Amino acid sequence: MDKNGQISKDEATGKVAVVTGASSGIGKATAITLAQAGYKVVLGARRMDRLVRLAAEIDGIAMHLDVTDPASVEAFTSKIEKTNILVNNAGGALGLDPVAEANEQYWEWMYQANVLGSLRMTKALLPKLEASNNGHIVLVTSVAAHEVYRSGGGYTAAKHAQSALGLTLRLELLGKPVHITEIAPGMVETEFSITRFEGDQKRAKQVYENMTPLSAEDVADCILWAVTRPPHVNIDTIVVKPLDQARAREIHRSTTA
């Protein structure tokens, strides 16, 4: 980054990947994986202490980003001169209330973080991705983008909408040098459940009891594979789940003595 806070031309001439929600979980693992593959990674998240440490580890660039805030997105994206890859990873879930008891603030946040956040980042960086002549937009959704389950209405609605955003982009960008990939993970042991249950560590841990979930690195591997295919290849959707998970709520859990 130069003295004016812009991504420098030297950095921009190589492979540059932007990863949102990069301070932990899938975002962090993706940033590390892409950096190891030779990308200059621009990290965006709200928790700058974590972000700065990660940037130092991978020789990346850390900048504050809150995808639910249009002004934050504008400030972040205005500093990026060129990029090849945008990984829309920021998002999450809050609560497990049935529709009849829905917390509208939770629903609004989930829509802002998962859907409008991806929309804002994509709108801002699309001209630069297209100008790279081999751009790639990755939307990290969920199996919840493809099925519903009881008490998950807010999250499944948001993830279905995020998936629809990607499908629409695929049509609108047909003939242009921009790839669109949706990565839809099943159960991944990250801070996802801690956020959903508002910091309740015990309840979050129970989600993964007696089964083997995916790791963040497993999902990052899928992202790396998708974005490193030949330019004429587009990986539309990857649904990746643990062997112990068949559907959102169909889980094999080993019995314990």
Asked if the structure places residue 232 within a domain, the reply is yes
pLDDT in tens, 117-162: 999 999 999 999 999 999 999 999 999 999 999 999 999 999 999 9
Tokens of 188: 């991944």
The Cα–Cα gap between 227 and 113 comes to 23
pTM of the model: 0.91
pLDDT band at 12 (very low <50, low <70, confident <90, very high): very low
Domain for residue 251, yes or no? no
- Position 192 scores a pLDDT of 63
Any domain includes 164: yes
- Looking at the structure of the chain, the number of domains it has is 1
User: What is the pLDDT at residue 3?
Assistant: 46
Catalytically active residues, by annotation: 155
In a domain, 2, yes or no: no
**Could you tell me whether strands 40-45 and 61-64 are parallel, antiparallel, or unpaired per DSSP bridges?**
parallel
Helix, strand or coil for residue 158? helix
Which tens digit of pLDDT belongs to each residue from 57-105?
Answer: 999 999 999 999 999 999 999 999 999 999 999 999 999 999 999 999 9
Q: Which domain holds residue 234?
A: 9-246
Which helix (H) or strand (E) is 238 found in, with range?
A: strand 237-240
Residue 257 lies in a domain: no
User: Could you report the per-residue pLDDT of 174-229, keeping only the tens digit for each?
Assistant: 999 999 999 999 999 986 656 656 666 777 678 889 999 999 999 999 999 999 99
Q: Is residue 254 situated within a structural domain?
A: no
Q: Tell me, what's the pLDDT at 9?
A: 41
Burial class (CB in 10 A: 0-12, 13-18, 19+), 82: middle
- Residue at 1 is within a domain: no
Q: Is residue 143 a part of any domain in this protein?
A: yes
CATH of the domain at 195: 3.40.50.720
What's the count of helices (H) and strands (E) in the chain, helices before strands?
Answer: 10, 9
Question: What pLDDT is stored for residue 202 in this prediction?
Answer: 76
